[in-house]
A and B are shown apart, each in its own frame.
Chain A
Amino acid sequence: MNINGVQIDDTFAEAFNMRGTRVIITAQNLKWAYNAANAMTGFATSVIGCGVEAGIERELTADETPDGRPGVSVLMFAMGSKVLMQQLETRMGQCILTCPTAAAFSGIASEDQISLGKHLRYFGDGNQVSKLIPDANGVNQRYWRIPVMDGEFLTQETTGMVRAIGGGNFLVLGTSQPQVLTACEAAIEAMKKIPNVIMPFPGGVVRSGSKVGSKYPKMFASTNDAFCPTLKGVVKTELDMNIESVMEIVIDGLTFEDIALSMKVGIEAACSLGADAGIKRISAGNYGGKLGQHHFKLHQILQGNLAGATTA
Chain B
Amino acid sequence: MSTLIFTLKSSVTQPIGCRALTPNNLSGKTLPEIKALRLDAQHSVADVFDVTGEATDHVVFKQARPLLHHIGYQMKTGQITIDGDAGNFTGAAMQGGVLICKGNVGERAGDAMRRGILLIEGDTGEYCASSMKAGTLGVLGKTGARLGYGMKRGTLLLVHAPIPQAIWLDCGWHTLPFLNILYKSFKALDSKFAKLTQMRVQRWVGDISGLGKAEILVLSQD
Contact = CB atoms under 8 A, between A and B. Distances in A.
Contacts of B136: 131, 133
| Size class of the A contact interface (CB-based, 8 Å) | 20 to 34
Nearest to A155: B178
Interface stretch (A43-51, A63-71, A85-93, A232-240): A63-71
B175 A151 contact: yes
B115 interface: yes
A143 B178 CA distance: 8
- Secondary structure of the A contact surface, majority rule: strand
Nearest to B98: A134
Interface in A25-70: 26, 66-69
Contacts of A129: 153, 155, 213, 215
A144 to B, nearest CB: 9
B177 A152 contact: yes
Contacts of B184: 66, 68, 136
A196 B216 CA distance: 41
B174 A131 contact: no
Contacts of B180: 66-69
Interface residues of B, number: 22
A28 to B, nearest CB: 9
B185 A67 contact: no
A267 B77 CA distance: 52
A229 B137 CA distance: 69
B182 interface: yes
A65 to B, nearest CB: 9
A129 to B, nearest CB: 7
Contacts of B215: 129
Given A131-B136, A151-B175, A67 B181 contact: yes
Contacts of B117: 134
A307 interface: no
A48 to B, nearest CB: 37
Given A130-B134, A131-B155, A66 B181 contact: yes
A154 B178 contact: yes
B182 A133 contact: yes
B176 interface: yes
B178 A145 contact: yes
Interface of B: 96, 98, 115, 117, 134-136, 153, 155, 174-178, 180-182, 184-185, 188, 213, 215
